[in-house]
Structure 1
């Protein structure tokens, strides 16, 4: 009994770290807990006393569990059970405010959106190496690749996260910052600040899919647009959007990191003149997102 308690204490010492790893890999609190439970089950069957590097061993086991979960999710083409679609008109109601805040603070909403577009192996390699400094030599067995190939997986993921190899565009950075300020004012319900950032003739337009999900088809004038955003936008973030026309700053609405729509933003000088909502799946498929 004493030995079991000792081993349980050693496992509990790693719980916080492993939970953070699983959370960032999976983007879901409930799935992270499921991954931890599976890891604990595997650990209970192992001879832990013979393992020299317990944290490394547990991370490897957890990584394999998470990889299997990501592959199963991709095969089923379904999102985690705690990820509920949000009414577009509210831009966006949070199914779980505490979890949404945790995700945004620990990873960044735009980052979660990009991670969701990666292959399971790319996501594992990038998160473990770039976020937790796990050596490629230890990641390679998890994804069943050689070390060099694992490095390439992480490199591809890194390019996706950064939006390609092009250098930073000062204009894009400035507009993204302006959009982030607008969304912050929206979340705070600062109507006056929203008006200040909008062109007097600003418009809000939504595609047919967004309208069927509850969005207004069109709003005209700064006051109407500001009212639509005021006190909302908790599940939205500023991001760089890649389309056939090139890279532009815009808005991604992604409850719990799953992209449900994007808003193309048009500027005249430093003021926003238009928001164009894209929710049609076919059109969304042609949009890439970069965390910056």
Structure 2
């Protein structure tokens, strides 16, 4: 390919990656899909592609749907091993963020709700709400009728609206929430943690990256007990980390997050989704398969002062 043709693809790479991420909930899978799309762009007879952006959007959407329908994806999700891959605030893969709908479409709450939709409903919702495609354009991309696109969009909006209830958070608010959470966890008193949680709070954890399936913690009292135990530093935990650890506050997928990091990178991420001023959901991840993108972005960027200097 000539330089101009490569440049045309690269100009849209971030948009294509953010589309694939919303559809798949995985930054690693999104990057693979975009690379596959590049290979198809390279091999295509581009003389007959009237609108490259539309052509590439169709290719990325359908490659993503193929992955969602794959046997491996179905096994992983059925086995309870799936969580959205976290992205730090400012990551270009988060994509367009001008509207509330666009920002909401990359929250953990909505990405999990998208898991309850069929692949086509999921694609229609993302293309319509996050990328403002018309139903005529969506029909062309997915090879369905406009009427079918409208019906899928209506059902998807209804499902998403029924389940979403978390609030938008800025960096200052995120730090306050993280500081309160860490202080309560370090206090050794579970009642302080319970007071920060909604009555129906739930948590998911990959067991410090060691568990094959996610551990589900169903009640505020159990969440508080597990969190308190997890935040107690021990020689075994320090050996596992292998370096001095600090605790930071960040915004991840629009929510407050605890980042545990050493000088070598991110050791773990805890995403705190907030509703009515309290924590409604906690997602703890330490597996490199889930924190790889956060680690890359963390090592490239500047960091705020830690909430805990030395853990």
**Counterpart in 2 of 1:9?**
7
**Counterpart in 1 of 2:142?**
143
C-alpha deviation, 1:85, in angstroms: 6.9
**What are structure 2's unaligned runs of at least 5 residues?**
95-105, 168-172, 232-246, 248-257, 259-268, 291-311
Q: How does 1:52-71 map to 2 (within 5 A)?
A: 52-71=50-69
1:151-207 CA distance string (max 9 Å, x none): 11111111111107xxx9xxx889xxxxx98993478512279866746xx99999x
Residues 36, 62 of structure 1: 8 Å contact kept: yes
State which of 93, 100, 103 in structure 1 corresponds to 2:86: 100
**Counterpart in 1 of 2:70?**
72
**Counterpart in 2 of 1:190?**
183
What secondary structure, in the 3-state scheme, does the structure 2 residue paired with 1:189 have? Answer: helix
Residues 186, 229 of structure 1: 8 Å contact kept: no
Please state if 1:227 is matched with 2:228: yes
C-alpha deviation, 1:239, in angstroms: 6.3
Q: Whole-Å Cα distance in 2 between the matches of residues 73 and 103 of structure 1?
A: 32
1:52-77 CA distance string (max 9 Å, x none): 32111111111111111111157743
1:239-292 CA distance string (max 9 Å, x none): 69xxxxxxxx94364756xxxxxxxxxxxxxxxxxxxxxxxxxxxxxxxxxxxx
Q: How does 1:106-121 map to 2 (within 5 A)?
A: 106=94, 107-121=106-120
State which of 8, 17, 20 in structure 2 corresponds to 1:19: 17
**CA pair 215-130 structure 1, distance change in 2 beyond 3 A:** closer
C-alpha deviation, 1:21, in angstroms: 0.8
TM-score, normalization: structure 2? Answer: 0.54
**CA pair 72-194 structure 1, distance change in 2 beyond 3 A:** same
**Counterpart in 1 of 2:273?**
237
What secondary structure, in the 3-state scheme, does the structure 1 residue paired with 2:2 have? Answer: helix
- What is the number of equivalent residue pairs in this alignment? 219
TM-score, normalization: structure 1? Answer: 0.57
Q: Whole-Å Cα distance in 2 between the matches of residues 137 and 73 of structure 1?
A: 31
What secondary structure, in the 3-state scheme, does the structure 1 residue paired with 2:116 have? Answer: coil
Q: Whole-Å Cα distance in 2 between the matches of residues 22 and 120 of structure 1?
A: 12
Calculate the aligned-residue CA RMSD, in Å.
5.0
Q: Whole-Å Cα distance in 2 between the matches of residues 234 and 187 of structure 1?
A: 14
For the pair shown, the structure with the greater C-alpha radius of gyration is: 1
**Counterpart in 2 of 1:251?**
281
Highest RCO, 1 vs 2 (Cα 8 Å, sep ≥ 6): 1
